[in-house]
Amino acid sequence: MASRSFFIQRPEDARRHVALLAKGLQKVAMVGFVAGIGCGAIALLLTRVLAAPHLQPNPTPGFREVAGMIFVTWFMTIALLVFSALYFVAGWGLSHQKDWARYTAAGTFLLKVLLCIWLGRGTATAMVVFLVIASWDLYGLWVLLSRETGLVIGSRQNQTPQLSKSPV
């Protein structure tokens, strides 16, 4: 029985990791959609209840804190829904071995890693927490940027039959 290596050394390894990544992306996307909708409901509730329209700009103490909470919940909602949509599209494309999906997923992973680094720049603990959140993205970058994955996905595109135009 052959041992399975964690490192991508053969085309079979690349296919296995891409399949794992595609399934994982679709599952993470579904969870992200549910979380984004829930976060959006909370953001809408906070906006309606706590930020009632007033005539004065700062009518009550703690207005800035409430505005900050509302901003954070809307930011989380938008981030969850956008990244979930990108994950779902990339997962679908990777499961069908589309060439564009490799670049879409890699770009999404890189964007999320950079966002996590930017959000965690305050303290070392926050940086560790946000990089743990981005660990799936780091794994995805490792899989998608390997040479073998490029050969596997690129060879699939070269095997598709092309219609040749004959002069009539």
Note the pLDDT of residue 133. Answer: 83
How big is the chain by its Cα radius of gyration, in Å? 22
Note the pLDDT of residue 129. Answer: 85
Note the pLDDT of residue 3. Answer: 47
Please count the other Cβ atoms lying within 10 Å of the Cβ belonging to residue 62: 11
Note the pLDDT of residue 27. Answer: 93
- The per-residue DSSP string of 3-61 comes to PPPSS--SHHHHHHHHHHHHHHHHHHHHHHHHHHHHHHHHHHHHHHHHS---SSSS-ST
Output the tens digit of pLDDT for each of the chain's 168 residues: 454 445 677 778 888 888 999 999 999 999 999 999 999 999 998 888 776 655 456 556 666 777 788 888 999 999 999 999 999 999 999 999 888 988 899 999 999 888 888 888 888 888 888 888 888 888 888 888 888 888 877 665 545 444 445 555
Note the pLDDT of residue 41. Answer: 94
Note the pLDDT of residue 117. Answer: 87
Tell which residue, 149, 111, 112, 134, has the closest CA to residue 20. Answer: 149
Question: What's the first-to-final CA gap in the chain, in angstroms?
Answer: 56
Are 117 and 127 a contacting pair, CB within 8 Å?
Answer: yes
Note the pLDDT of residue 75. Answer: 92
Residue pointed to by tokens 């004959």: 166
Q: How many residues does the chain have?
A: 168
CA distance 75 to 43: 9
Note the pLDDT of residue 118. Answer: 87
Task: Classify the C-alpha dihedral 29-35-38-44 as positive or negative.
Answer: negative
Note the pLDDT of residue 159. Answer: 52
Are 81 and 36 a contacting pair, CB within 8 Å?
Answer: yes
